[in-house]
Structure 1
Amino acid sequence: MAARRLFLILLPVMWLLGACSTEQELGQEPQVKQQEVKVPANFPALEMQSYNQLSEEGVELGRRLFYDTRLSGNNTLSCASCHEQRLAFTDGAALSAKGAAGTPLLRHSPGLANMAWMTGFFWDGGAKNLESQAFGPLTAPDEMDQNLQELVTELQSIPDYVSRFKLVFNDEIKAAYIGQALAQFQRTLVSAGSRYDKYVRQEPGGTMSELELQGLRVVRQKCGSCHTGELFTDNLYHNNGLDLDFNNEQHEGIYQGRYRISHNPADLGKYKTPTLRNIMLTAPYMHDGRFATISEVLHHYSQGVQVSATLAPDLLQGAGGAAGIPLTQQEQEAIVAFLETLTDYEFIQNPKLASPFKEKEEKVF
């Protein structure tokens, strides 16, 4: 009887052990934990794509790839080389020369924030999604100069990456998965913790001075046609009067703006509207970094706009009027004061967005 009672007590445990053994025999894979982009209360709704759903493990894989110098052909450059967290994921250079060729790039490295809400990438919208965007800098000879098959081979030699890709994508390492993992991480780069955000959401620390509030009103009134809403960008393309001539065919039409992609003459000289968020950290400004300071930017809009056929209509002061946006000295000071409130210190100090590797060492597993 004692033996029978012992058997009955052990039976549930034996059943559980048998079930676990059955799962292992069936080869069931560990499940990833699904993750969503957290939408701040003052942000617009987010329509997530279904083809590359976020997981905690996928985001972490993307973060490791973002900071890994193996992604460059010479193993010295990572995505973070030109997108530093402390600078709101820019590099502080007008035209970076950090690339493999050592020559200045032809466009300014844009900041990375709130990309889950974006509908086009690069200054001319040359990529429709983050997954395809990644391969531009990865393969460009003057940027990371990487052969994708060689990259796959190199990553396949690293057991940690092999297991991570297997867990996230249930497959061996492939170039497409590299782009997807990077995209997952970049979609978590949400910047919504500035003093302005806390003011709007009535959170602690959300105080704004009268000068800053005046600046907000001026921005909404005079800059809001492009820098619109809580994202402070319309995610569209505009000719903001920087140049008169866009017919330069060199460098694959890089100076033609959106026309380079659309081949629509109405798009000559049009570039994507950057967000105003963290703008005090992302100098210099414009697609080619030509303006070193916000003061230079405001001077351009008030006095330096050049009129061409594709100039944004909002930069013309009525029919036959002068070009530009009238801004008094007081208004410009108010704008600068307000833009300071858009700096998100939580974003640039968030350890979840920082390198997962040891300081000054980008390839540690």
Structure 2
Amino acid sequence: MTYNNLKYSLLFSFILSACSSGDRLEPDEMTGLPAPPQHFPAMPEVDYNPMTKDGVVLGRKLFFEPLMSGNNKISCASCHHQDKAFTDGVSLSSIGFSGNRLHRNTQAIINLAWATNGLFWEGGSTNLESLAIGPITHLDEMGQNVLELPQKLERSGHYKLLFENAFPSEKSEGITTQKILKALGQYLRTIVSADSRYDQYILGKLSLTDREQRGLTVFDTKCASCHSRDKHLFTDNLYHNIGLDDTFSEANERVEQGRYRITFNPDDMGKFRTPTLRNISYTAPYMHDGRFGTLEEVLDHFQHGIRHTATTSPYLSGFTLSDVEKDLLQVFLKTLDDEAFVTNPALRP
């Protein structure tokens, strides 16, 4: 995905310089939308884009809107299906504007309000407002000129009142790119998953089975260094090389190079952002290129497929995983599935 086009960098600098208006809405006042979980850390403040009910309503409609694409056929939801925890179930999608196959697997949208250290596999976006620019404009994805998008939505006749309600003090400006991205950001912050068996266990509402509890013990020993449970997010929001490759080609937008393609720091070669393990049963295939079709294959990699290079995570030095531990991990990881999340009607238009 291309993020360094100067025109869009300058555009987003302008976007961040402006603050949206409207009365602030505490998340637990959003009718039909999940409140911030009591066992999670506080949701980070976003001073330049305070959340409002009307802003969320607008952002949700835009997320499912095909007019957001150059051919009026592709929406954000085309690749982020709620029943798959906002992934698409394929290794590398080819349903975009150009029909070309993408180079990266579609990431889940889960609890991104707490992702404050970069987004996408390599951290090429710094916040949920800039997140949408790449997919909207990339010809292999939605193929829409973001500078022309406001006029396009204006002509549709369906959005004038929604934008006025979401940004009441800026009615005279009409629909703008800035408002589109902010509304999307507000909706994305409401996509919260925190009602799995694991969450019920943490809140003292149920007990894990013996095998689930043993799996949790294995998880804390083998996996929690990167998929941290401290904040119940199951990610450390950092970047790690987990030994998928031992060479790092410049082909296909240098996808194998991971975080390095953003920072050009040799220490970041082959590192990718730690994905959350929440709803992992719904989000196959796995890894940045979708190379593993099942959770079993992922664990097989950690059992006997790690390729060691200069940047491979030190957590994997001497790492071992027995067949018993692998089976118990799969039992525990299923406790992170949140059926209420993948069926919640409040997240749909």
Q: What is the alpha-carbon distance in structure 2 between the residues aligned to residue 332 and residue 314 of structure 1? A: 17
More off after superposition, 290-299 vs 32-41: 32-41
**1:331 paired residue among 322, 325, 328:** 325
Q: Does 1:112 align with 2:109?
A: yes
Tell me by how many angstroms 1:44 deviates. Answer: 2.1
Structure 1 counterpart SS, 2:148:
helix
Tell me by how many angstroms 1:41 deviates. Answer: 1.9
Tell me by how many angstroms 1:149 deviates. Answer: 2.9
Aligned length: 316
CA-to-aligned-CA distance 1:272-331 (integer Å, 9 cap, x gap): 0000000011000000000011111111011100010000000002xxxxxxx3112111
Q: What is the alpha-carbon distance in structure 2 between the residues aligned to residue 98 and residue 211 of structure 1? A: 41
Q: Does 1:340 align with 2:331?
A: no
Q: In the alignment, is the contact (CA less than 8 A) between 1:257 and 1:271 conserved in 2?
A: yes
Unpaired runs of 5+ in structure 1? Answer: 1-29, 318-324, 357-365
Q: In the alignment, is the contact (CA less than 8 A) between 1:285 and 1:291 conserved in 2?
A: yes
Q: Does 1:71 align with 2:68?
A: yes
Q: What is the alpha-carbon distance in structure 2 between the residues aligned to residue 207 and residue 151 of structure 1? A: 50
| Alignment TM-score, normalising by the size of structure 2 | 0.88
Q: What is the alpha-carbon distance in structure 1 between the residues aligned to residue 157 and residue 207 of structure 2? A: 50
Counterpart of 1:199, as a letter, is Y
Tell me by how many angstroms 1:94 deviates. Answer: 0.5
Counterpart of 1:151, as a letter, is L
Q: What is the alpha-carbon distance in structure 2 between the residues aligned to residue 35 and residue 46 of structure 1? A: 10
Tell me by how many angstroms 1:160 deviates. Answer: 3.3
Instruction: Work out the percentage of aligned pairs sharing the same amino acid.
Output: 48
Tell me by how many angstroms 1:36 deviates. Answer: 2.2
Q: Does 1:349 align with 2:346?
A: no
| 2:310 corresponding residue in structure 1 | 309
**1:196 paired residue among 182, 195, 198:** 198
| Alignment TM-score, normalising by the size of structure 1 | 0.84
Structure 1 counterpart SS, 2:187:
helix
Unpaired runs of 5+ in structure 2? Answer: 1-20, 29-34
Structure 2 counterpart SS, 1:109:
coil
Residue correspondence of structure 1 range 181-260 to structure 2 within 5 A? 181-203=183-205, 206-229=206-229, 230-246=232-248, 248-260=249-261
**2:148 paired residue among 147, 150, 168:** 150
Q: What is the alpha-carbon distance in structure 2 between the residues aligned to residue 145 and residue 40 of structure 1? A: 36
Q: What is the alpha-carbon distance in structure 2 between the residues aligned to residue 151 and residue 45 of structure 1? A: 34
Q: Does 1:286 align with 2:277?
A: no
Q: In the alignment, is the contact (CA less than 8 A) between 2:24 and 2:50 conserved in 1?
A: no
Q: In the alignment, is the contact (CA less than 8 A) between 1:71 and 1:151 conserved in 2?
A: yes
Tell me by how many angstroms 1:31 deviates. Answer: 5.8
Structure 1 counterpart SS, 2:129:
helix
Q: What is the alpha-carbon distance in structure 2 between the residues aligned to residue 352 and residue 39 of structure 1? A: 15
Q: In the alignment, is the contact (CA less than 8 A) between 1:32 and 1:57 conserved in 2?
A: no
Over alpha carbons, which structure has the higher Rg?
Answer: 1
Q: What is the alpha-carbon distance in structure 2 between the residues aligned to residue 152 and residue 124 of structure 1? A: 29
In structure 2, relative to structure 1, the CA distance for the partners of 1:278 and 1:302 (3 Å cut) is same
Counterpart of 1:217, as a letter, is T
Structure 1 counterpart SS, 2:278:
coil
| 1:36 corresponding residue in structure 2 | 27
Residue correspondence of structure 1 range 264-275 to structure 2 within 5 A? 264-275=265-276
Q: In the alignment, is the contact (CA less than 8 A) between 1:33 and 1:57 conserved in 2?
A: no
Counterpart of 2:323, as a letter, is Q
Tell me by how many angstroms 1:32 deviates. Answer: 5.0
Q: In the alignment, is the contact (CA less than 8 A) between 1:62 and 1:183 conserved in 2?
A: yes
Q: In the alignment, is the contact (CA less than 8 A) between 2:22 and 2:52 conserved in 1?
A: no
Q: What is the alpha-carbon distance in structure 1 between the residues aligned to residue 344 and residue 208 of structure 2? A: 23
| 2:136 corresponding residue in structure 1 | 138
| 1:179 corresponding residue in structure 2 | 181
**2:124 paired residue among 115, 126, 129:** 126
Structure 2 counterpart SS, 1:157:
helix
Q: What is the alpha-carbon distance in structure 1 between the residues aligned to residue 305 and residue 251 of structure 2? A: 26
More off after superposition, 150-159 vs 341-350: 150-159
Structure 2 counterpart SS, 1:149:
coil
**2:50 paired residue among 49, 53, 65:** 53
Counterpart of 1:183, as a letter, is G
